[in-house]
């Protein structure tokens, strides 16, 4: 069994025409949610490669935390050791240009 200790984050990816410069705001017409975090990504990759995998980490008691835990389960990762916290789940805003 592989046990991964690490981060779990909710990544919100915004396709934009160009990346913002310092102090600039750019408009994105939509975004999509991608489960992320270096630890969670490693756990999912190991499970997809066929290894029995367990994730150890912490998410918030919010909707993003729910989505991340369910996403791990859907990928075949045991998530029973992912704790819940009153703090918000970590999020990242990622802008991707053409």
User: What domains appear along the chain, each with residue ranges and CATH number?
Assistant: 2-96 (3.40.1190.30)
Question: What does the pLDDT average to over 81-98?
Answer: 95
Confidence category of residue 95, pLDDT binned at 50, 70, 90: very high
Q: If we measure between CA atoms, which residue out of 33, 29, 35, 34 comes closest to residue 15?
A: 29
Task: Please write the tens of the pLDDT for every residue from 21-54.
Answer: 999 999 988 999 999 999 999 999 999 999 999 9
Task: Please write the tens of the pLDDT for every residue from 4-20.
Answer: 999 999 999 999 999 99
Residue 98 has a pLDDT of 84
Output the CA–CA distances (angstroms, integers) from residue 75 to 26, 68, 85, in the order listed. Answer: 34, 11, 23
Residue 29 has a pLDDT of 87
- What is the DSSP code (8-state) at residue 49? T
Alpha carbon 28 to chain centroid, angstroms:
20
Residue 3 above 90 pLDDT? yes
């Amino acid at each position: 069994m592989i046990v991964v200790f690490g981060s779990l984050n909710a990544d919100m990816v915004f396709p934009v025409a160009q990346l913002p410069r310092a102090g600039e705001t750019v408009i994105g017409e939509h975004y999509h949610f991608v489960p992320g975090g270096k630890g969670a990504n490693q756990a999912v990759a190991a499970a997809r490669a066929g290894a029995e995998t367990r994730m150890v980490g912490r998410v918030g008691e919010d909707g993003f935390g729910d989505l991340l835990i369910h996403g791990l389960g859907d990928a075949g990762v045991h998530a029973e050791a992912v704790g819940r916290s009153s703090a918000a789940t970590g999020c990242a805003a990622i802008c991707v240009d053409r």
